[in-house]
Amino acid sequence: MTCVNCSNGIEKFLNRQKGVLKTKVSFASSEGEFQIDSKLFSREKLISQIEKLGYKVEEDTKALEEEQLKSFKELKKLFITSISITIAIFILAFSNIFEKTLNTYIIFVLASIIQFYCGARFYKLAYKAVANKNYDMNVLVAIGTSAAYFYSTFVVFFPSLFPEHLRFIYFDGAAVIISFIILGRFLEENSKQKASDFLKKLMSLAPENANVMDENKQIKTVLVKDLKLGDSVLVKIGEKIPVDGLIIEGNADINTSMITGESLPVFKQEGDEVLAGTLNTNGVITLKVTKESKDTTLSKIITLLKSAQSKQIPISRFADKIANIFVPTVIIISILTFIVWGFFIGDLQNAIIASISVLIISCPCALGLATPIAIVSSVSRGAKEGILIKNPEILEQIKEIKYAVFDKTGTLTKGNISVTKTDIKEEYFKRIASIEKYSEHPISKAIVKFIENKNISCDEKIENIEIIPGHGIKVSIDNIEYLLGNKKLLEDNQVSILEKHLNFYEKELELSNGVILVAIDKETIGSFSLEDELKEEAIEVIKNLKNIGIKAVLLTGDNEITASKIAKKLNINEVYAQVIPTEKYEVIKRLQKEAKVMFIGDGVNDAPSIKQADIGITLNSGADISKDAGDIVLINNELNSVIKSINLSIETMKIVKQNLFWAFGYNTLGIPIAAGILYPFFGIMLSPMYAGIAMSFSSVTVVVNSLRLKMKKL
């Protein structure tokens, strides 16, 4: 496909066929999705009908890329041939190398090569477009250059048919037009490939083969697509992780930069999850396959990116409608221009020049490219920043957002329990940590981590530990009883809490922190206060949202004391606490009655709210169902990416509007000039050659402007 009218034409043609229920063709990604009634319209017929329109169909991505590369090389070859011959035509036209008549005949032969060899693609596509009642830019190019070429041919071979003052030849003009349009196509194709580079890099991340270990620890190399859930896979130093999995043996530093955007390798050990496409930099690990190749995080990212690049935003659909009625309108304007100059003014020469120039200068390439190229650039730039834009339609809505509603746990907070303070003396830490080390409970892990961070070892051997579910731990060492747990555990074991320890305990409870009491030999020694820590960037994100006029709202299932404490730290004034998932959904709907709402969450319980919100943002660390519901997935799990997403959307819409303004402005200004409106006042008449250059320049301008997104600071 050469422009957005091609994709529109395929859709229009197929939608008229009985048995075709739904079509969606993307010029940007060169992909199509079709829903058909197989009883009325077969898959084979679908392919043959598309090929009938003049387009080749590939059902494999690799084959498509090969065809695109082949087409790209063909365009390059055509441009080199065309521009070389055009230069030769100009040399002959402005020199006396041969006798005048011979010179003219040689120019005719060279121009014919350009017209029917280099320009053959325009004739083929124009014919099929008209045959299927679709009028695209190929029709304009074919009509415009043919008019210039055949007029010149008649002047060369039948000069007596024309008065002396109308015996002009425009072979050079037609040649330049074809050369520059091919150059424009070449640059457009090149820009599309560059904009999709990140997607291609992602697709090449996952290795094709994997080392599978059987029950006898024997290693066998198999294709990644043949791996099954539960398989054990060995990953050596310098190898890429083939699928998402859980490390069951070994540890290593994993380079995750292409997936999460983290610049430094992340240490992973037994029990940690690793993602397909990431790189094992310095260890040997064995992992258990948890997701098949088609379901990995990487494959989902690739699928979503492809889908996002093929979607259109509302402003794009408006541009497409304009582009689709533009060509017939231009042809009418060209005919009227010829009639006015030829019959009313009586200047046949200017009639020919003006009507051809109108056809050439008004090709809607820039209009068709304005939005798709910007979307492709935006999606790929977002992916590089760890922002996966699933639904580009939100790019146009973000400017209207007035509320940013946040879930708390795992979104604004780290989702990990940690010890924040204690009134226990350090002399007890080693034994406490040695006891807690034997429990897998998150609270026990938090206490062990807190003590280990003080460089205190926890290597005492402890026996006869009794873990009491819902209460805590009880252990006897050298006939001394140790209790670590909640108040109920101590009461059940007839331990009285000293007043100073009770004051600390109750104060922390009032702050809605978790508190673990510790008693030795029936006497309390103090307690640990625990809470879910705020993410470092949370305060800055809320502040930045306020600076751009977006009100932050906290929406959580936690109790009011905890919610209020978090809200106070973040300077959030509107808080909804102790709400169940259905109530969260209702809060979003209520806020939407006032203004557009963005929701940021990560849990299964957030999925309905994410889906209901005008813009749903979810974290990659969240549940699969919430990621499916979201419009944007933050692959790097960084809250700062919320601001980056907003900035990227704003910049994308600026680029789209600049592109559309340029495209509409160019045609609004260019068509009257090409029609000769300046001639009566300034004697300026735009020749078809310069019209062709101007048209190509407009397309290149739109492409270059869109690629600026790759360099924008977010």
**What pLDDT does 688 receive?**
61
Instruction: Identify which has the larger pLDDT, 85 or 373.
Output: 85
Instruction: Please give the torsion angle defined by the CA atoms of residues 559, 560, 562 and 566, in that order, rounded to the nearest 10 degrees.
Output: 130
Residues 6+ apart with CB under 8 A from 597: 401, 402, 403, 405, 588, 591, 613, 614, 615
Q: Which of 154-168, 222-236, 392-406, 424-438 has the lowest mean pLDDT?
A: 154-168
Q: Contact 169/111 with Cβ under 8 angstroms?
A: no
pLDDT of 599 over the 90 cut: yes
Level-2 CATH architecture, domain 207-295: Distorted Sandwich (2.70)
pLDDT of residue 366: 63
Going from the C-alpha of 10 to that of each of 15, 23, 61, 140, 356, the distances in angstroms are 8, 9, 20, 18, 28
Residue 288: per-residue pLDDT: 92
Distance between CA atoms of 482 and 436, rounded to whole angstroms? 11
Residues 6+ apart with CB under 8 A from 619: 410, 411, 602, 633, 634, 637
What type of residue is 439? S
The domain locations on the chain are: 4-199, 207-295, 392-412+535-630, 414-533
* From 407, 558, 602, 606, the catalytic residue: 407
CA distance 664 to 651: 20
307-345 pLDDT, tens digit per residue, is 545 555 566 556 556 656 777 888 888 889 889 988 888
Q: How far apart are CA 610 and CA 624, in angstroms?
A: 12
Dig out the tokens for 436 from the structure. 């807690």
Comparing 87-101, 133-147, 331-345, the range with the smallest average pLDDT is 133-147
Closest to 363 in 3D by CA, of 221, 511, 180 = 180
More confident call, 479 vs 297: 479
Q: Strand, helix or coil at 685?
A: coil
- Inform me whether the pLDDT recorded for 657 exceeds 80: yes
Calculate mean pLDDT across residues 22-42: 84
Q: Quick one: average pLDDT of 385-399? A: 81
Reading the block at residue 543, the tokens are 């502040």
Average pLDDT, integer, range 360-381: 71
| Residue 248 falls in which region: left (phi positive, over 0), alpha (psi -120 to 50) or beta | alpha
Task: Give residue 52's pLDDT.
Answer: 81
Residue among 649, 636, 635, 583 at smallest CA distance from 612:
583
Which residue has 């693609």 as its token pair? 121
The phi and psi torsions of 634 (rounded to 5 degrees) equal -90, 95
Note whether 36 and 19 are within 8 A (CB): yes
Does residue 147 contact residue 82 with C-beta atoms inside 8 Å?
no
Inter-residue contact 195 to 702 (CB < 8 Å): no
User: Quick one: three-class SS letters along 658-682?
Assistant: HHHHHHHHHHHHHHHHHHCCCHHHH
Question: What residues form DSSP beta bridges with 517?
Answer: 485, 527
pLDDT at 403 over 80: yes
Report the pLDDT value the prediction gives residue 612, as an integer from 0 to 100: 83
Q: Among candidates 258, 295, 307, which has minimal Cα distance to 636? A: 258
Average of pLDDT values for 679-687?
Answer: 78
Question: What's the whole-number average pLDDT of the chain?
Answer: 81
Binned at pLDDT 50, 70 and 90, residue 174 comes out as confident
What's the confidence (pLDDT) of residue 212? 92
Q: Indicate whether 418 pLDDT > 90.
A: no
For the chain, report the end-to-end CA distance as a whole number of angstroms.
32
Is 622:602 a contact under the CB 8 Å cutoff?
A: yes
- Over the range 144-163, which residues count as b (16 or more CB within 10 Å of their CB) and which as e? bbbbbbebbbebbeeeeeee
What are the pLDDT digits (tens) for 264-296?
567 788 888 888 888 888 888 999 999 888 877
User: Is 257 or 281 the better-scoring residue by pLDDT?
Assistant: 281
**What DSSP line would sit under 17-64, residue for residue?**
STTEEEEEEETTTTEEEEEE-TTTS-HHHHHHHHHHTT----SSHHHH
Q: In which residue are the tokens 């009770």 written? A: 502
Convert the pLDDT of each residue in 509-558 to its tens digit. 777 677 889 999 999 999 998 887 788 889 999 999 999 999 999 988 76
Report yes or no: 584 and 599 within 8 Å, Cβ to Cβ. Answer: no
Per-residue confidence (pLDDT) for residue 258, from 0 to 100: 59
Is 407 labeled as catalytic in the residue annotation? yes
Are the CB atoms for 244 and 297 separated by under 8 Å? yes
Report pLDDT for 117.
93
Lowest model confidence (mean pLDDT) among 111-120, 313-322, 548-557, 576-585: 313-322
| pLDDT for the residue 261 | 43
CA gap 344, 434 in Å, rounded: 102
The larger pLDDT score, comparing residue 694 to residue 507, is at 507
Q: Which DSSP state fits 395? A: G
User: For the residues 566-588, what does the mean pLDDT come to?
Assistant: 84
Q: Is pLDDT above 50 for 263? A: no
| 58 to 66, 75, 130, 648: CA distances (angstroms) | 10, 19, 24, 33
Mean pLDDT of 567-581: 85
pLDDT at 643: 92
Class of the domain covering 414-533: alpha beta
Specify the CATH number of the domain 392-412+535-630: 3.40.50.1000
Would you say residue 76 has pLDDT above 80? yes
552 vs 686, residue with greater confidence:
552
Q: Flag whether pLDDT at 198 surpasses 60.
A: no
122 phi and psi angles, rounded to 5 deg: -70, -40
What is the torsion angle, in degrees rounded to the nearest 10, for the CA atoms of residue 370, residue 311, residue 276 and residue 190?
A: -30
Residue 113 is predicted with a pLDDT of: 94
Cα separation values, 104 from 92, 166, 309, 477, Å? 8, 16, 49, 110
| Residue 627 token pair | 């990621």
Give residues with Cβ within 8 angstroms of 387, minimum separation 6: 632, 633, 634, 635, 641, 644, 645, 648
What is the rounded average pLDDT of the residues 246-275?
A: 76
Q: Which of 40-44, 46-50, 412-416 has the lowest mean pLDDT?
A: 412-416
Max mean pLDDT range (224-228, 563-567, 595-599): 595-599
Share of the chain above pLDDT 90, in %: 15
Of 621, 632, 624, 617, residue with least CA distance to 405: 617
pLDDT above 70: residue 238: yes
